[in-house]
Structure 1
């Protein structure tokens, strides 16, 4: 007997299963680590109160004196960054590379006493951020997270198509709570996914802007500044993204692909390609740079990254909870000239929307309300992932590993096919893996048809 060709509904069902099987562990991981990072503003003062909290004083020690105290405590260390107190009751912080280890060193801004240190890469928040972004395995982890997020988009789109109400609203718009077993789990999965689809898409897409492959391409296409902004500034080959890492955010996303300016005698050294080599030797003080930040009304919470080479710059940057307060300033280490001062107003429209999306993603845009919304989304993700695995387990064919049988037989959905192909083009890693999945799917189907025919 001739087997009917699978329609798009069948295809969407199988792809939804494949995507769910791959994505579920990642979604659980992203939701749990996201929850930890979401409540960083509340957790940090509780966990590290002895390091972060100080009694408000009347006279603050200068940044240069604080720097001297830290250098005395870590004579072999390299001072990488300075974070002035965010308010009158918080300590100042230095990031120090000491014996190959990156340390957060906390210091009392009123007395100059060093309060203690923490491993910058192994504290709870840094670990959560590193796992969330790249599974703590670098580029490979970044690509896996990106692939999972891309397939998460496929999961949402195919899920909405599969569960779209077709005359029956119970079990899709609301769960049938009087049901038990598989039906109840199925309803929880469908209802959660149906109402949460838009929120999940926002979370996935805003998160993908930070990924190393798709995010970098996205930034190069959409995140541009007028070339004239850098015309009179000596530029290096280093991009501002070099200041960011898996565990530490320094410059805003919108600034990542901008060139780092260079310090020095612009007329003689830069024009003739004879820029001085060697380590940084700034002639302006750290307090001078902090004064520039204050004079230019940079929002508290900013960091000052110190130059590491003779042509490097001081970078004042704040990745603000409200993106409208973002600021990135590059300061010549010899003259104190501000070589670049980029604010939210200079971002392009897509960059502005992306920065707002990132802050919504991190739960920072509207304070506690935003945190509660993201908390609910994370819980929704956990429920959707767990319920999806449960209903598969309860319906897996003959107790084997495979796709549960379909009960539907609907005509091919051409619009759905077009959307899936568009997703494959928009997200290249998803497109490449989709081809692999499609090939394996065809192979398994052909084997199944052969077995049925021989039977």
Structure 2
């Protein structure tokens, strides 16, 4: 039962109890390439589907984090009554410091509309997390405190870790990378196989997008639901796969290296106050080196300069170290996004550098937008609903896939089995040279760029070849006996 030894599609030799009635048209002879794709789709579906189930369930839970934040942390995040004029940032920061005297001040996000002001402190014992004090911008009173992770509340952080790594740290990130590495393969492979099966004669689009309910019960009807729903979900699944890979552990590293090599990465913002810019400066994150002279009144002055420079909407102010400019960055992640940044000299009150989203390279723009869409914030509630529908749809596709496997099982007394047999072997030997010549380097390149795709593919091959050799040996012993 080897992936490298395929001879036909999964329906080429059905068991007597699962023979499908004739369709009234001649059966298409499967090409070696199609047969190989059938076998790959089968094995990847059976073995990778559990990873996809976990990713879909945890992703589905993550889609409701905005509502959970309001329900669980609304007292800290939302003001009950919004006024017309917010209090000075200096007054709000002083109140936050009084409520939380420990730690270094690393960022301030001024409250807008019904949102509180977030004053972020770094503490060594929190590692990459921070302690955020929330202040009512209209009264200057402290609304509460939370331990956050790059602005995320505890519940959002917990669900994010669950989806990314199952709370297992770096080791757990392998599961999500495996799921993302194979999702696009399964989606594209399924579309190709369904197209070959259904796209003949008139009404080909309808045949692809609508299941044939006239087939009665059994594997054919299940396949119809499995395939047509997969076609409807295909674009969304491909986007989830691509965006998930961009910040995965290994494939994401290769992606970032590729953007750098193509000079398509997100531009850096220099925070140097000298003539020579500091390489890589300006990439401020919570928990970075704070300024020892981050006086509360300076935040008001820096914010005013940034507003005059055109940075409207929600922003985050990150104080620099002594002798460096401060960074003010727009943080509006909903469409149309606001991601412009400026570096401000806190003493002179001037803009020393800026980086506008409009000037980003195209790949950097697409990557950033894709990540926000993957997180369900780019289009607000609509984005959440679409992600939830994708997750539920993917779960249905997987359930129907396993159901087909079970429906194709032999049921005769002398040939009874728990599940159906895998597709037959023999396709690789029949592939023409012109398919193998580019195909092998292409698969090798994909395996290098997506390491978990390459490793698991080799694992599938090794295990399947071993099972095939064992089966041949058993057959040989039986014939000799």
Q: TM-score range by the shorter chain?
A: 0.7 to 0.9
Distance 1:70-1:315 versus aligned 2 partners, 3 A rule:
same
8 Å contact from structure 1 (residues 323, 359) kept in 2: no
* Residues 1:36 and 1:56: Cα distance change in structure 2 (over 3 Å): same
Segments of structure 1 that go 5 or more residues without pairing to the other structure are 246-259, 263-277
Q: Distance in 1 between matches of 2:374 and 2:405?
A: 29
State the superposition RMSD in angstroms.
3.8
TM-score if structure 1 supplies the norm length?
Answer: 0.77
Once residues 416 and 342 of structure 2 are traced to their aligned partners in structure 1, the CA distance between those partners, rounded to angstroms, is: 61
2:146 is the counterpart of 1:118: yes
Given the superposition, is the C-alpha separation of residues 109 and 19 from structure 1 closer, same or farther in structure 2, using an over 3 Å criterion? same
Note if contact 2:106-2:286 (Cα within 8 Å) is conserved in structure 1.
no
From 205, 210, 226, give the equivalent of 1:174. 210
Is the aligned partner of 1:429 residue 2:429?
Answer: no
Q: Which runs of 5+ in 2 are unaligned?
A: 8-31
2:172 counterpart SS class = helix
Kept after mapping to 1: 8 A contact 2:5/2:425: no
- Indicate yes or no: 2:177 matched with 1:135: no
**Map 1:234-253 → 2, pairs under 5 A:** 234-235=277-278, 240=283, 243=285
Residues 385 and 196 of structure 1: is their aligned pair in 2 closer, same or farther, counting only changes over 3 Å? same
Which digits, 9 at most, give the CA deviation of each residue in 1:160-179, with x for residues without a partner? 23333435779854224464
Structure 2 counterpart of 1:197, from 209, 229, 234: 234
Pick from 66, 74, 78 the counterpart of residue 104 of structure 2.
Answer: 78
Give 1:27's match in structure 2, choosing from 52, 57, 61. 52
State the match for 2:360 in structure 1. Answer: 347
The answer to which of 330-339 and 9-18 deviates more is 330-339
Q: Which residue of 2 aligns with 1:314?
A: 326
Asked if structure 2 preserves the Cα contact closer than 8 Å seen for 1:9 and 1:412, the reply is no
Q: Which residue of 2 aligns with 1:267?
A: none
**In structure 1, which of residues 49, 68, 76 is the aligned counterpart of residue 94 of structure 2?**
68
Is the Cα–Cα contact under 8 Å of residues 233 and 339 in structure 1 kept in the other structure? Answer: no
Gap change, CA 1:180 and 1:60, over 3 Å in 2: same
CA deviations over 1:120-144 (Å, ceiling 9, x no partner): 2562222222223333333333343
Structure 2 residue 391 is matched with structure 1 residue 360: no
Which structure exhibits the higher relative contact order, with contacts defined as CA atoms closer than 8 Å and separated by 6 or more residues?
A: 2
Tell me if the contact between 1:151 and 1:430 (Cα under 8 Å) persists in the aligned partners. yes
8 Å CA contact 1:95–1:105 kept in 2: the answer is: yes
Q: For the pair shown, which has the larger CA radius of gyration, 1 or 2?
A: 2
Equivalent residue for 1:90, pick from 99, 107, 115: 115
Q: Distance in 2 between matches of 1:15 and 1:158?
A: 9
Give the CA deviation at 1:195: 2.7
**In structure 2, which of residues 37, 58, 83 is the aligned counterpart of residue 12 of structure 1?**
37
Determine if the alignment matches structure 1 residue 145 to structure 2 residue 176.
Answer: yes
Distance 2:156 2:425 in 1: 46
How high is the TM-score relative to the length of structure 2?
0.74
* Conservation of the 8 A alpha-carbon contact between 1:74 and 1:98: no
CA distance in 2, matches of 1:285, 1:396: 72
Cα offsets for 1:385-417 (capped at 9, x unmatched): 232233334446888798733379987487698
The change in CA–CA distance for 1:233 and 1:27 in structure 2 (over 3 A counts) is farther
SS at match of 2:342: strand
